[in-house]
Structure 1
Amino acid sequence: MSTSLPMHGDKSVADHITIGLSKVAAALRSQAWEGGTARRLTPTQGQILALLAERAGEPVRLNQVAAELCMTAATASDAVATLEQKRLVTKSRSSDDHRALTIALTGAGRREAQRTMGWTDVVRAGVAGMTPDEQAVFLRGLTKIIRSLQEQGVISIARQCAGCTYFQPYVHADAAKPHHCGFVNKPMGEGQLRLDCPDFIPGSEAEQADRWRQFLDGSKGR
């Protein structure tokens, strides 16, 4: 009886997924450089503009920019200073802490942010080609990956459902919408999970751990 041997260079599914995510990241970097060169923006500057556009109406501090985009305070400060020189952002002292700087987009900055946010269209087109069920499974997987990155200290706290005090996983019998959002007081499905919600309020570490366990365990019976 013959014994099957592993092919040279065989990789696990986790390896293939990691490689795939790396290729997506490379594509995004390429688009950012290509889109930014003509407008004299670096990918870092474009990321900052996009972040400020996403947080429109919210005061965003300089240290938040650094934490959200996983960069050093010095890198964030230099990039923001350049954007200020280009009259795309303004800096002012925080109303509740005069030692802290808040960053806001100018009119030109808002227009530029819309262009930079278009850099992700190539990835969005690929995601749009997935079925709703595939998108929901993929979104759940991204939630887990982001949670792992938080636990490893690679990224700051993400404002995603699974860590929010309003989120109640698997409390409804409806398989299509098993979760509940206490903020809007409505049931929600896997495809409605958010990775960056403006209404996010973190619970205590114990509450987050318990909620995360429910989120993971609840799917096993479905």
Structure 2
Amino acid sequence: MSKLPDDTPPLIDRIGVGLSRVATAMRTEAWTAADAIGLNPTQLQILTFLVARGRAGMRVKQIAAYLGVSQPTTTDSVNALLRKGLVDKQSDPTDARALAVAATPAGESAVRRAGELASATEDAIAALSKLEQQDLLVHLLKIIRRLQMAGAIPEQRMCVNCRYFRPHVHDDPSAPHHCAFVDAAFGPAELRVDCGEYESGEEGARETAWRVFTREAG
């Protein structure tokens, strides 16, 4: 039996190349979707993020931190969205002295239109089985958390970081986890990468929850 050539790149390198190919496709689609509604990709990313936050909105500094975008770039993008009527400014419910930025109904409509455009990346993911999609999500969460811990990306609003996350507390394998915010059980396929109700948990509690989650998730 023949063997692979000695110059076959290491597995980790091949995975990295594969992820870069997916990222290239997603960047191209982001440009196409943003252009279709008269925005640039950063503006669409910010608007999509604000739509997910609801009417409570977010401060510019928070938007920049969560998305890993510089504050001047965020300010410029928010101002452009304001001029287009896609966002507005209002009093921050947590601090009356501060202003929060929230998506308007027009902004919500723009995000829906962008989301309706054909996406080869979504089609490729949809071609995986439900179990494969679920496993991919769990592996992505692990990678994202490692990047977060290394300081390569800011803290993400994921279930596995959240103070309300209770991993593997139910016997039902289809819904082993519990969200204390809505007091409901849920399964691996419902794990969120970005949640509007997210609240950062204490470091010790998060580490304990993560160990329980990864031990059972494999």
Settle same-fold status: TM greater than 0.5: yes
2:70 to 69, 72, 82: 72
Q: CA deviation at 1:5?
A: 7.0
Q: Which amino acid aligns with 1:139?
A: L
Q: Does 1:166 align with 2:158?
A: no
Residue in 2 that maps onto 1:10: 9
* Separation of aligned partners in 2, 1:48 and 1:218: 34
Match 1:198 to one of 179, 189, 196: 196
- 2:182 and 2:91 map into 1 onto residues whose CA distance is 33
C-alpha separation in 1, matches of 2:150 and 2:175:
30
Aligned residue for 1:58?
56
The match for 1:110 is: 108
Following superposition, the deviation at residue 53 of structure 1 comes to 1.4
**What's the CA shift for 1:140?**
0.5
Q: Quick one: which amino acid aligns to residue 206 of structure 1? A: G
Gaps of 5+ in 2: none
Q: For residue 119 of structure 1, report the CA deviation from its aligned partner.
A: 5.5
Residues 142-191 of structure 1, C-alpha deviations (whole Å, 9 max, x = no match): 11111112112222222212122222222333333332333333332221
Q: Post-superposition shift, 1:70? A: 0.9
Whether contact under 8 Å (1:170, 1:178) holds in the other structure is yes
Q: Is the 8 A contact 1:36 1:42 kept in 2?
A: yes
Q: What corresponds to 1:94 in structure 2?
A: 92
Distance 1:120 1:99, change over 3 A: farther
State percent identity of aligned pairs. Answer: 38
Q: Deviations over 1:37-89 (max 9, x none)?
A: 35431111111111111112222111121112210100100111122222222
Q: Is the 8 A contact 2:54 2:196 kept in 1?
A: no
2 CA distance for matches of 1:197 and 1:59? 13
Which deviates the most, 61-70 or 96-105?
96-105
Q: Which runs of 5+ in 1 are unaligned?
A: none
Hey, what's the Cα distance between the residues in 1 that align with 2:170 and 2:37? Answer: 49
* Counterpart residue type for residue 62 of structure 1: V
Letter in 2 for 1:154: A
> Partner residue of 2:45?
47
Report 1:140-151 matches (<5 A).
140-151=138-149
Mapping for residues 15-54 of structure 1, pairs under 5 Å: 15-54=13-52
Say whether residues 1:139 and 2:175 are aligned partners.
Answer: no
Selected match of 1:125 from 112, 123, 126 = 123
Cα 1:35/1:161, change in 2 over 3 Å: closer
Count the aligned residue pairs.
218
Q: Which amino acid aligns with 1:54?
A: A
Paired letter, 1:199: E
In 2: Cα distance, 1:52 partner to 1:21 partner: 27
Q: 1:36 Cα deviation (Å)?
A: 2.9
